[in-house]
Amino acid sequence: MGYTMAISQELLNILVCPLCKAPVHLKADQSGLKCEKCRRVYPIKDDIPVMLIDEATIEPE
Amino acid sequence: MEIEESSSAKLTIPEVVDAYSRLAPLYGIWETLTEGRTGKLASELASVRSGEAVLEVGVGPGIMLESLARANSEGIIAGIDLTPAMLQRTRRRFRHRSLASPALFQADVRFLPFADGSFDMVFSSYLLDLLSIPNIEKALQEMRRVIRPSGRLMLVYLSQDKPWFNRIWGFFYWMVPMLLGGCRPIHVAAHLPSAGFAVVATRRITQWGIPAELILANRES
Protein backbone atom coordinates (compact mmCIF):
# COMPACT_ATOMS: atom_id res chain seq x y z
CA MET A 1 0.00 0.00 0.00
CA GLY A 2 1.44 3.36 -1.02
CA TYR A 3 2.13 5.92 1.63
CA THR A 4 -0.01 8.55 -0.06
CA MET A 5 -3.04 6.42 0.77
CA ALA A 6 -2.30 6.73 4.48
CA ILE A 7 -1.76 10.49 4.63
CA SER A 8 -4.04 13.23 3.40
CA GLN A 9 -3.09 16.59 1.99
CA GLU A 10 -4.86 18.02 5.03
CA LEU A 11 -2.27 16.34 7.25
CA LEU A 12 0.68 17.23 5.06
CA ASN A 13 -0.39 20.85 5.53
CA ILE A 14 0.12 20.68 9.29
CA LEU A 15 3.27 18.51 9.30
CA VAL A 16 6.49 20.36 10.08
CA CYS A 17 10.10 19.58 10.82
CA PRO A 18 10.29 18.65 14.51
CA LEU A 19 13.50 20.68 14.84
CA CYS A 20 13.02 23.96 12.96
CA LYS A 21 9.20 23.77 12.57
CA ALA A 22 9.35 24.65 8.88
CA PRO A 23 6.97 22.85 6.47
CA VAL A 24 7.96 19.44 5.10
CA HIS A 25 7.05 17.96 1.73
CA LEU A 26 6.81 14.40 0.51
CA LYS A 27 9.79 13.50 -1.64
CA ALA A 28 9.02 12.59 -5.25
CA ASP A 29 9.96 8.94 -4.64
CA GLN A 30 7.86 8.98 -1.45
CA SER A 31 10.81 7.68 0.59
CA GLY A 32 10.68 10.48 3.11
CA LEU A 33 9.51 13.91 4.18
CA LYS A 34 11.94 16.75 3.56
CA CYS A 35 12.19 19.94 5.55
CA GLU A 36 12.09 22.98 3.29
CA LYS A 37 14.42 24.95 5.58
CA CYS A 38 17.07 22.68 7.12
CA ARG A 39 16.89 20.00 4.35
CA ARG A 40 16.53 17.19 6.86
CA VAL A 41 14.82 14.16 5.37
CA TYR A 42 12.67 12.11 7.69
CA PRO A 43 12.44 8.52 6.44
CA ILE A 44 9.19 6.62 6.01
CA LYS A 45 9.50 3.09 7.39
CA ASP A 46 6.69 0.55 6.95
CA ASP A 47 4.42 3.39 5.83
CA ILE A 48 5.05 5.31 9.07
CA PRO A 49 7.01 8.59 8.91
CA VAL A 50 9.86 8.63 11.41
CA MET A 51 9.79 12.25 12.55
CA LEU A 52 12.79 11.91 14.88
CA ILE A 53 15.64 14.40 14.57
CA ASP A 54 18.27 11.72 15.21
CA GLU A 55 16.91 9.50 12.44
CA ALA A 56 16.95 12.22 9.78
CA THR A 57 19.60 12.66 7.13
CA ILE A 58 20.57 16.08 5.79
CA GLU A 59 20.51 16.41 2.01
CA PRO A 60 23.07 18.76 0.37
CA GLU A 61 20.30 20.72 -1.35
CA MET B 1 10.30 4.97 49.40
CA GLU B 2 7.59 7.43 48.51
CA ILE B 3 8.18 8.98 45.13
CA GLU B 4 9.05 12.63 45.37
CA GLU B 5 8.01 15.19 42.82
CA SER B 6 11.64 15.96 42.15
CA SER B 7 12.57 12.33 41.47
CA SER B 8 13.90 11.87 37.99
CA ALA B 9 12.56 9.28 35.59
CA LYS B 10 14.55 6.05 35.90
CA LEU B 11 14.43 5.06 32.25
CA THR B 12 16.23 6.96 29.53
CA ILE B 13 14.40 7.53 26.23
CA PRO B 14 16.12 4.58 24.42
CA GLU B 15 15.30 2.38 27.45
CA VAL B 16 11.66 3.44 27.23
CA VAL B 17 11.55 2.43 23.56
CA ASP B 18 13.18 -0.89 24.43
CA ALA B 19 10.84 -1.54 27.36
CA TYR B 20 7.71 -0.75 25.34
CA SER B 21 8.93 -2.83 22.38
CA ARG B 22 9.12 -5.79 24.75
CA LEU B 23 5.81 -4.94 26.41
CA ALA B 24 3.98 -4.34 23.11
CA PRO B 25 2.50 -7.85 22.75
CA LEU B 26 1.17 -7.82 26.33
CA TYR B 27 0.37 -4.16 26.78
CA GLY B 28 -3.10 -4.39 25.24
CA ILE B 29 -4.18 -6.92 27.86
CA TRP B 30 -2.67 -4.88 30.67
CA GLU B 31 -4.29 -1.72 29.36
CA THR B 32 -7.72 -3.36 29.06
CA LEU B 33 -7.47 -4.67 32.62
CA THR B 34 -6.25 -1.50 34.24
CA GLU B 35 -7.27 1.39 32.06
CA GLY B 36 -10.61 0.51 30.44
CA ARG B 37 -12.92 2.35 32.81
CA THR B 38 -10.37 5.15 33.11
CA GLY B 39 -10.34 5.49 29.32
CA LYS B 40 -14.13 5.66 29.21
CA LEU B 41 -14.16 8.43 31.81
CA ALA B 42 -11.42 10.25 29.89
CA SER B 43 -13.45 10.02 26.68
CA GLU B 44 -16.49 11.47 28.41
CA LEU B 45 -14.48 14.29 29.93
CA ALA B 46 -12.70 15.10 26.66
CA SER B 47 -16.06 15.09 24.78
CA VAL B 48 -14.55 14.98 21.31
CA ARG B 49 -16.91 16.31 18.66
CA SER B 50 -16.92 14.88 15.17
CA GLY B 51 -15.00 17.07 12.75
CA GLU B 52 -12.30 18.08 15.23
CA ALA B 53 -8.57 17.69 14.75
CA VAL B 54 -7.33 15.42 17.54
CA LEU B 55 -3.82 14.27 18.39
CA GLU B 56 -2.93 11.50 20.81
CA VAL B 57 0.60 11.65 22.13
CA GLY B 58 1.83 8.17 23.10
CA VAL B 59 -0.79 5.97 21.43
CA GLY B 60 0.51 2.66 22.80
CA PRO B 61 -1.57 -0.20 21.32
CA GLY B 62 -4.23 2.26 20.18
CA ILE B 63 -7.11 1.52 22.57
CA MET B 64 -7.72 5.17 23.41
CA LEU B 65 -7.06 6.30 19.84
CA GLU B 66 -9.79 3.91 18.66
CA SER B 67 -12.22 5.45 21.12
CA LEU B 68 -11.24 8.96 19.97
CA ALA B 69 -11.60 7.91 16.31
CA ARG B 70 -15.08 6.48 16.87
CA ALA B 71 -16.17 9.81 18.36
CA ASN B 72 -14.60 11.75 15.51
CA SER B 73 -15.40 9.98 12.23
CA GLU B 74 -15.44 13.26 10.27
CA GLY B 75 -12.28 14.83 11.67
CA ILE B 76 -8.55 14.32 11.82
CA ILE B 77 -7.14 11.58 14.05
CA ALA B 78 -3.38 11.66 14.46
CA GLY B 79 -1.18 9.71 16.82
CA ILE B 80 2.47 9.56 17.73
CA ASP B 81 4.57 7.11 19.71
CA LEU B 82 8.30 6.60 20.16
CA THR B 83 7.98 2.84 19.76
CA PRO B 84 7.47 1.45 16.22
CA ALA B 85 6.01 -1.81 17.62
CA MET B 86 3.21 0.17 19.30
CA LEU B 87 2.45 2.12 16.11
CA GLN B 88 2.22 -1.16 14.17
CA ARG B 89 -0.17 -2.58 16.79
CA THR B 90 -2.31 0.55 16.59
CA ARG B 91 -2.45 0.31 12.82
CA ARG B 92 -3.43 -3.39 12.96
CA ARG B 93 -6.08 -2.60 15.54
CA PHE B 94 -7.73 -0.09 13.20
CA ARG B 95 -7.45 -2.46 10.22
CA HIS B 96 -9.00 -5.39 12.11
CA ARG B 97 -11.93 -3.20 13.05
CA SER B 98 -12.28 -1.78 9.53
CA LEU B 99 -11.75 1.76 10.81
CA ALA B 100 -10.18 4.43 8.61
CA SER B 101 -6.39 4.56 9.11
CA PRO B 102 -5.30 7.14 11.63
CA ALA B 103 -2.30 9.30 10.75
CA LEU B 104 0.55 7.71 12.70
CA PHE B 105 4.04 9.10 13.20
CA GLN B 106 7.08 7.96 15.13
CA ALA B 107 7.85 11.12 17.06
CA ASP B 108 9.05 12.55 20.36
CA VAL B 109 6.60 14.62 22.43
CA ARG B 110 9.39 17.11 23.13
CA PHE B 111 9.79 17.82 19.39
CA LEU B 112 6.34 17.51 17.85
CA PRO B 113 6.25 17.53 14.03
CA PHE B 114 3.10 19.64 13.77
CA ALA B 115 2.53 23.31 13.01
CA ASP B 116 1.41 25.74 15.72
CA GLY B 117 -2.30 25.56 16.55
CA SER B 118 -2.95 22.43 14.48
CA PHE B 119 -5.27 20.62 16.88
CA ASP B 120 -8.54 21.22 18.70
CA MET B 121 -7.51 18.70 21.31
CA VAL B 122 -4.38 16.87 22.40
CA PHE B 123 -4.81 13.72 24.45
CA SER B 124 -2.14 11.91 26.42
CA SER B 125 -2.46 9.01 28.82
CA TYR B 126 0.27 7.42 30.91
CA LEU B 127 3.04 9.25 29.11
CA LEU B 128 4.05 12.13 31.36
CA ASP B 129 4.57 9.55 34.14
CA LEU B 130 7.58 8.34 32.18
CA LEU B 131 9.35 11.66 31.90
CA SER B 132 11.69 13.62 34.12
CA ILE B 133 10.33 16.94 35.43
CA PRO B 134 12.25 19.07 32.84
CA ASN B 135 10.92 16.80 30.09
CA ILE B 136 7.35 17.05 31.44
CA GLU B 137 7.69 20.83 31.18
CA LYS B 138 9.10 20.57 27.66
CA ALA B 139 6.29 18.16 26.68
CA LEU B 140 3.60 20.51 28.03
CA GLN B 141 5.19 23.42 26.16
CA GLU B 142 5.15 21.48 22.87
CA MET B 143 1.60 20.23 23.39
CA ARG B 144 0.49 23.80 24.06
CA ARG B 145 2.18 24.97 20.87
CA VAL B 146 0.24 22.55 18.65
CA ILE B 147 -3.14 23.22 20.32
CA ARG B 148 -5.15 26.07 18.82
CA PRO B 149 -5.97 29.01 21.14
CA SER B 150 -8.65 27.91 23.64
CA GLY B 151 -8.25 24.29 22.46
CA ARG B 152 -8.16 21.41 24.96
CA LEU B 153 -5.57 19.23 26.61
CA MET B 154 -6.65 15.94 28.20
CA LEU B 155 -4.18 14.17 30.44
CA VAL B 156 -4.36 10.82 32.25
CA TYR B 157 -1.56 9.76 34.55
CA LEU B 158 -0.76 7.75 37.66
CA SER B 159 -2.02 9.72 40.62
CA GLN B 160 0.01 10.56 43.70
CA ASP B 161 -3.28 10.58 45.58
CA LYS B 162 -2.77 7.27 47.38
CA PRO B 163 0.34 7.17 49.61
CA TRP B 164 0.15 3.36 50.06
CA PHE B 165 0.11 2.93 46.29
CA ASN B 166 3.07 5.29 45.92
CA ARG B 167 5.04 3.17 48.37
CA ILE B 168 4.30 -0.16 46.67
CA TRP B 169 4.75 1.21 43.15
CA GLY B 170 7.83 3.10 44.32
CA PHE B 171 9.39 -0.13 45.52
CA PHE B 172 8.86 -1.89 42.19
CA TYR B 173 9.85 1.24 40.27
CA TRP B 174 13.10 1.27 42.21
CA MET B 175 13.64 -2.49 41.68
CA VAL B 176 12.48 -3.05 38.11
CA PRO B 177 11.37 0.15 36.32
CA MET B 178 10.98 -1.71 33.01
CA LEU B 179 8.30 -3.98 34.46
CA LEU B 180 6.14 -0.92 35.08
CA GLY B 181 6.91 0.55 31.69
CA GLY B 182 8.97 3.15 33.54
CA CYS B 183 5.85 4.96 34.82
CA ARG B 184 5.70 6.49 38.29
CA PRO B 185 3.03 8.53 40.07
CA ILE B 186 3.39 12.23 39.38
CA HIS B 187 1.68 15.48 40.22
CA VAL B 188 0.98 17.25 36.96
CA ALA B 189 -1.58 19.90 37.90
CA ALA B 190 1.11 22.07 39.48
CA HIS B 191 2.92 22.41 36.15
CA LEU B 192 -0.12 23.43 34.08
CA PRO B 193 -0.57 27.15 34.88
CA SER B 194 3.06 27.99 34.13
CA ALA B 195 2.76 25.97 30.89
CA GLY B 196 -0.15 28.18 29.78
CA PHE B 197 -3.09 25.93 30.62
CA ALA B 198 -6.16 26.53 32.78
CA VAL B 199 -7.53 23.41 34.49
CA VAL B 200 -11.22 22.91 33.64
CA ALA B 201 -11.94 19.60 35.38
CA THR B 202 -10.12 17.00 37.45
CA ARG B 203 -11.26 13.43 38.16
CA ARG B 204 -9.72 10.64 40.19
CA ILE B 205 -10.44 7.00 39.57
CA THR B 206 -9.04 3.73 40.94
CA GLN B 207 -9.32 0.65 38.80
CA TRP B 208 -7.81 -2.71 39.84
CA GLY B 209 -5.94 -0.80 42.53
CA ILE B 210 -4.27 1.62 40.10
CA PRO B 211 -5.10 5.24 40.99
CA ALA B 212 -5.29 7.57 38.02
CA GLU B 213 -5.85 11.28 37.75
CA LEU B 214 -7.59 12.84 34.75
CA ILE B 215 -7.22 16.50 33.91
CA LEU B 216 -9.01 18.49 31.26
CA ALA B 217 -7.39 21.87 30.63
CA ASN B 218 -7.86 24.72 28.18
CA ARG B 219 -5.02 26.35 26.36
CA GLU B 220 -4.90 29.94 27.46
CA SER B 221 -4.29 32.31 24.57
- Provide the domain limits for residue B208: 4-219
* Residue of chain A with shortest Cα separation from B110: A18
Q: Helix-strand-coil percent breakdown of chain B, rounded to 5?
A: 45, 25, 30
What is the complex's ipTM, to 2 decimals? 0.91
> What CATH number has the domain bearing residue B61?
3.40.50.150
CB contact under 8 Å between A45 and B103, yes or no, is no
Instruction: For chain A, list residues with pLDDT below 70.
Output: 1-7
- Interchain CB contact of A58 with B (< 8 Å): no
pTM across the whole model: 0.83
pLDDT digits (tens, 9 = 90+) for B63-93: 889 989 999 989 999 999 999 999 999 999 9
> Domain count of chain B?
1
pLDDT digits (tens, 9 = 90+) for B124-143: 988 887 788 888 899 999 99
- Interchain CB contact of A12 with B (< 8 Å): no
Residue B171: the pLDDT is 58
Pick the residue with more confidence: A26 or B166?
A26
Pick the residue with more confidence: A57 or B40?
A57
The number of C-alpha atoms within 13 Å of B161 and in the hemisphere containing its C-beta is 15
Quote the CA–CA distance of B83 and A9 in Å, as a whole number: 25
**Taking 90 as the threshold, does the pLDDT of residue B122 lie above it?**
yes
